[in-house]
Structure 1
């Protein structure tokens, strides 16, 4: 236990005067008495507890710094990896574009001799006449079918091309559209229905006129030698009539193909 604080107190004691003594008072004797008073002190913590608290705080701060540094390093590594990936992807895209250009230059889609290319399709414009069914059979034997018109742009290409190929006004060409299965239900040769927004009937066509054939007019031909207003140059006609025709098939590559146009 810690020693008590020592306090000194000046205590005076006066002795009684003896009889017969002089009336002069003598100075009192002075004695010193040691008085010990224990000073109450608050309980003290063990030395070790205070000393260990500081290292614990330091350890905590150090761990947080280490974690922050590691997180920063990981983030930096991720940013670097992302940059490398973006750079590599950019290089890959350039190589692919270069390869695509080389392939297009060296082996572009082409059509056989006697066929005309437009976009990725090849078209054959006949010079002989035949019924709609016979015309279709010939197109199929060549690996295609009667033309199916999928866009206004394709209709424009065909309409303009036919102006040069028609000898007279009625020298029209079969296309792959018919309602022979169900009257009024117009289907392409692949059995897909006609999109009314992509139909190019002239005036009151189709009229299913029976003056030439009692069975009516179930097949479609096209062409206006003088040019069609708003590309409208479709006419229904008896499928038995003899007309020129347009075949269509996808363009290909190969030694027997003509140069790209």
Structure 2
């Protein structure tokens, strides 16, 4: 009977050990599942956060775009001025020296035009073609090298961007005699206007004291 009891006891121990292993495995499985759930939840929260940030960025960009479109649509020019993008242009038919033209533009709230893009040059050319009364009708722009020969400056003092110029072939040539008239200072100011010319090359240097028409420029006003 003692041996039988021993066998019985051993069998019970084995069953207990087997039951313990099963419980331990279940606990491990639960822990793993919980860990996976925590990781998945964290990843989901991260994705949600990133998506929310991206959505907010898109919303801000859309609002800024609408604001710009609305502001652009509300821009206007005064009577007598012509608009191109955010700028207004006034084409004066008064025959003035370059200095007088600059003063005139300042008096009406603008400045002699500063050309900063091919689009702007193209707009001015196309507009002038309809305003020119002669084959060669000359309009001052705001470019001069009267301070230092060869250093071309705009009315606000900024230098000419040499990669963005529209000189006619052979210009600037700084002649000291034009139409049998002597100019001691040469040609230190710039005008445009040559109806028969094609392309964008419409700039000519000219004596600053010559009488020409002019182009004034100022920013378009936003209608409140």
Q: State the Cα distance separating 1:4 from its structure 2 match.
A: 6.3
- Alignment partners' CA distance in 2, 1:175 and 1:199: 13
- Alignment partners' CA distance in 1, 2:127 and 2:133: 13
TM-score (norm 1): 0.67
Q: State the Cα distance separating 1:47 from its structure 2 match.
A: 4.5
TM-score (norm 2): 0.76
Q: State the Cα distance separating 1:70 from its structure 2 match.
A: 3.7
Q: Tell me the matched-pair count.
A: 214
**Unaligned segments of structure 1, at least 5 residues:** 6-40, 256-261
What does the per-residue CA deviation read over 1:195-218, in whole Å, with 9 as the maximum and x for residues that have no partner? 334322223222211123111110
* More helix as a share of residues: 2
Q: State the Cα distance separating 1:235 from its structure 2 match.
A: 1.4
Which one has the largest radius of gyration?
Answer: 1
SS of match in other structure, 1:61: helix
**Unaligned segments of structure 2, at least 5 residues:** none
- Alignment partners' CA distance in 2, 1:88 and 1:187: 46
- Alignment partners' CA distance in 1, 2:61 and 2:198: 46
Report what 2:121 is aligned to: 155
- Alignment partners' CA distance in 2, 1:87 and 1:205: 53
What does the per-residue CA deviation read over 1:151-210, in whole Å, with 9 as the maximum and x for residues that have no partner? 222212111221222223443010011111111121222233223343222232222111
Q: How does 1:243-258 map to 2 (within 5 A)?
A: 243-254=212-223
SS of match in other structure, 2:31: helix
Q: State the Cα distance separating 1:115 from its structure 2 match.
A: 0.5
Q: Is residue 103 from structure 1 mapped to residue 70 from structure 2 by the alignment?
A: yes
Report what 1:66 is aligned to: 34
Q: RMSD between aligned alpha carbons?
A: 3.7
Q: State the Cα distance separating 1:220 from its structure 2 match.
A: 0.5
Residues 74 and 223 in structure 2, CA contact (< 8 A), matched pair in contact too: no
What does the per-residue CA deviation read over 1:62-114, in whole Å, with 9 as the maximum and x for residues that have no partner? 222222234344545665x4698489659947974895598369x52110111
Q: Is residue 220 from structure 1 mapped to residue 186 from structure 2 by the alignment?
A: no
